Structure 1
């Protein structure tokens, strides 16, 4: 019964996604059955849209910056959490991981009030990037926590005993051993930022990200097949990135000699 429940749950969750390529290759403009015929013209139309290219460039820029900053912050937080004891550590880690459980609509509204009313900053891609760092950092911390926990502290102590200082020990010993976790955290953070809509919708200015641009196209029924084609490409890229991140995670555990107890998702 449990296996049947899991199968039905996954089918209910992912069956709508499987319809994306079906209608992306459909020759008709109406998203409904029966299908009219096979075509690839919706994919070619994506290459002629300058607005789509600009939105994609905005999303890639925001995702790259947010993922790098999130991993740098997550690296420091995970290192401190695993290796050191200090007053208020549990409270600090709880605050860092809080965006994981808060509804995004609440986070987006709060950030909009802070940015516009308190700091009086204009809404730009920088505000979206800062907000994405906030929501991506907990995922990076969760992944890097596992990487640092799998690292034997005796290796760092041996390097220090042999004459290395703490900076060179971190650069030559610690960093290469946790690099698979860093790569996995980068890929996960990049995917989360690239797909995020609610916060980007609230904080974007005149330069929309790709999800916000896709939402704006929903008002034009004739462009829905183009959205289906674009969604098909995004789903494939997301699956490939997540698979690469999971492969890096497993490779890191295998190098550290730690038993794999399941994926980080």
Structure 2
């Protein structure tokens, strides 16, 4: 075994071992998160249905994730379309500034947004969290949609215009259907990122916490840890399903436009 292969195996084990242990303890009949296991139980999953505060946090997170995904994808469509179709002054600088949240630590983004919002006198709540999530999700949407728009043949749009369509109708009837797999992929990725995001939500949430913030609060109570493990197992399962569907649509879009697949999320 080569050193590089050994390093890759050790890295994957280190990365995914905690995720594998999550369902193990979620089904363990014991409140202490330690080996040896006591037995199999579904009690912790049953308790999830009896916590009203958890249900409210789930609804808050779903609403925030859906709205953030739609806004981020809409902005991503506009930015990717402009970046791949048109030339304008300062194009590289503007696009680089938009993509900056990808490399900035989230704690810096969260604190900066908190200071700005407090200075503007805006109350913290659901819409401030959406604002923060749109900020960090938009670069991911642009990165996904850029490849979808770059692979398009401009002659298709030009042919539609020559046949009497307007720029808007050619975009709606020709371009959007071709990039629809990328749009769906962007929506799913942005939804997943927003649903799982903690740091920005922790700083910008008001009296109605999101699901990750609620989970963080439950970690103070040792007797609640198994229930948190059960909920974490469900979240991991949902995230894997969403990422798998997003990857499917990404590959479908690449195959549809004849673009060489250089790898994706999975």
TM score, norm. by length of structure 1: 0.99
State the partner residue of 1:13: 15
Secondary structure of the structure 2 residue equivalent to 1:31: coil
State the partner residue of 2:82: 80
Give the one of 66, 70, 81 matched to 2:72.
Answer: 70
User: Is 1:143–1:264's contact at 8 Å kept on the other side of the alignment?
Assistant: no
Give distance in 2, aligned partners of 1:258 and 1:145. 12
Give distance in 2, aligned partners of 1:210 and 1:128. 12
Offset at 1:227? Answer: 0.3
Give the one of 95, 103, 111 matched to 1:109.
Answer: 111
Give distance in 2, aligned partners of 1:129 and 1:45. 29
Offset at 1:36? Answer: 0.7
Give distance in 2, aligned partners of 1:177 and 1:36. 54
CA RMSD of aligned residues (A): 0.7
TM score, norm. by length of structure 2: 0.98
How many equivalent residue pairs? 264
User: Is 1:74–1:144's contact at 8 Å kept on the other side of the alignment?
Assistant: yes
Give distance in 2, aligned partners of 1:100 and 1:258. 25
5+ residue gaps, structure 2: none
Give distance in 2, aligned partners of 1:23 and 1:264. 28
User: Is 1:139–1:189's contact at 8 Å kept on the other side of the alignment?
Assistant: yes
User: Is 1:60–1:194's contact at 8 Å kept on the other side of the alignment?
Assistant: yes
Describe how 1:217-236 pairs up with structure 2 within 5 A.
217-236=218-237
Is residue 2:142 matched to residue 1:141?
yes
User: Is 2:243–2:265's contact at 8 Å kept on the other side of the alignment?
Assistant: no
Is residue 2:188 matched to residue 1:187?
yes
5+ residue gaps, structure 1: none
Secondary structure of the structure 2 residue equivalent to 1:170: helix
User: Is 2:22–2:232's contact at 8 Å kept on the other side of the alignment?
Assistant: yes
